Amino acid sequence: MSNAQVARLRKHFPTNIYPSISTCLIDHKGFAATILICCAIDTLSSYATSNPTKQGNKKKFMSFVEKYFPSIYDSEQFYKIVRCGLVHSFNMESTYTILCSKENWVQELHFSKPKGFNEIILNPFTLLGHLKKAHKAFVTDLENDIELRKIFSKIYNINSIVKQHTRVFKALKKIS
């Protein structure tokens, strides 16, 4: 069963997660896109641990970022200031500023602090690219690591993306 679950994660994560993020990016809603990306990282990080509870989210998130994201990310600061700051209070403590532009020169500034800036630049287009690479690398690890796949399967049975998506459609049918 777990091979089929991995195949579903490979297919359904991009299908169900990326369109909402892309819509935000097209509309230049960098804050919203970054929050959704952080939520997507939370989802993937939960699949990489054998702990099905919400306890230990910080450790799960940081571990996933350290393993699957480029080394430019300080996982603890990213979790505390970007993920928690945005998700819980729409505030990044004057440490980061979001520049939501697809221009190459802006994307190249991602996670840098250019001369004259007090904040670190966060570009959600670049962050989404890193999320996509992390997702692919994680799925590859699931395909090649039997123990990781067992851990993933345990969590996926409880919290699959497909089931959540299906529940929404069932609820909408009941309402209409």
- Around Cβ 132, how many Cβ atoms within 10 Å? 16
**CA-CA distance, 135 to 57, in Å (whole number)?**
18
Q: What is the pLDDT of residues 98-148, one digit of tens each?
A: 999 999 999 999 999 999 999 999 999 999 999 999 999 999 999 999 999
Separation between Cα atoms, residue 119 and residue 97, nearest integer Å? 6
Higher pLDDT, 97 or 169: 97
Question: Are 149 and 123 spatial neighbours (Cβ–Cβ below 8 Å)?
Answer: no
Mean pLDDT of the chain: 90
Tokens of 134: 């992390």
- pLDDT for 43-59, tens place per residue? 999 999 866 666 678 99
Per residue in 162-174, is it b (16+ CB within 10 Å) or e — as a string?
beeeeeeeeeeee
